[in-house]
Chains A and B, each alone.
Chain A
Amino acid sequence: AAGVIQSPRHLIKEKRETATLKCYPIPRHDTVYWYQQGPGQDPQFLISFYEKMQSDKGSIPDRFSAQQFSDYHSELNMSSLELGDSALYFCASSLGASGETQYFGPGTRLLVL
């Protein structure tokens, strides 16, 4: 079965640079979620979108923005990168806005030098 696709899988950036992470949900899923996972930590919710509208917001820095497009894929834009932004970034998708059952992608490992 098709799963959530994330690109790139690995990304290395310098401080103060920008990064764009992409997420392609499971076919027919209309809701995407973004999570950040630091080393040895559990995933922390950043933001979610349902039908191209923001549906929930967590601990997402103001330097980050995200959107969902008409084909339901989503992009997480990160500006003025800081060393502390180094983490695994996961996208998850679900069918419907309730978010009860979320399926995660393989993640993007971001390293900020």
Chain B
Amino acid sequence: GQQLNQSPQSMFIQEGEDVSMNCTSSSIFNTWLWYKQDPGEGPVLLIALYKAGELTSNGRLTAQFGITRKDSFLNISASIPSDVGIYFCAGHRSTSYGKLTFGQGTILTVHP
């Protein structure tokens, strides 16, 4: 069953605004990943976080691995129209060799 709660489910923002989304879990993950998916395409890895407390940036994207290892957030600064898409968080446990557990996704719409 679903173990990651991602919010918000959708966001409608104006170009230039900042965006924040987060994922929480009732259990610990050892790695947090953030992906962006365009309709009909595969998820594209944006940021990977490997240590509790880690703060990582990738251009206008910033993500943090929560201290408790049960949450993570993604911020997008100065949004642009091409940021439109579905953003997924995903968690990985070291006890699980393959499985990524995904959040429900955040649908981002950016109005020019």
Q: What is the interface of chain B mostly: helix, strand, loop, or mixed? A: loop
Q: What is the interface of chain A mostly: helix, strand, loop, or mixed? A: strand
Q: Is the CB of A25 closer than 8 A to any CB of chain B?
A: no
Q: CB distance A101 to B45 under 8 Å?
A: yes
Instruction: In the complex, identify which listed stretch (A11-19, A39-47, A75-83) lies at the interface while the others stay far away.
Output: A39-47
Q: CB distance A105 to B42 under 8 Å?
A: yes
A50: B residues at CB distance < 8 A: 97
B98: A residues at CB distance < 8 A: 31, 33, 45, 47-48, 55-56, 58, 99
A97: B residues at CB distance < 8 A: 97
B87 to chain A minimum Cβ distance, whole angstroms, is: 11
A64 to chain B minimum Cβ distance, whole angstroms, is: 15
B100 to chain A minimum Cβ distance, whole angstroms, is: 6
Chain A residues with CB under 8 Å of chain B are 4, 6, 31, 33, 35, 42-45, 47-48, 50, 55-56, 58, 88, 90, 92, 97-107, 109
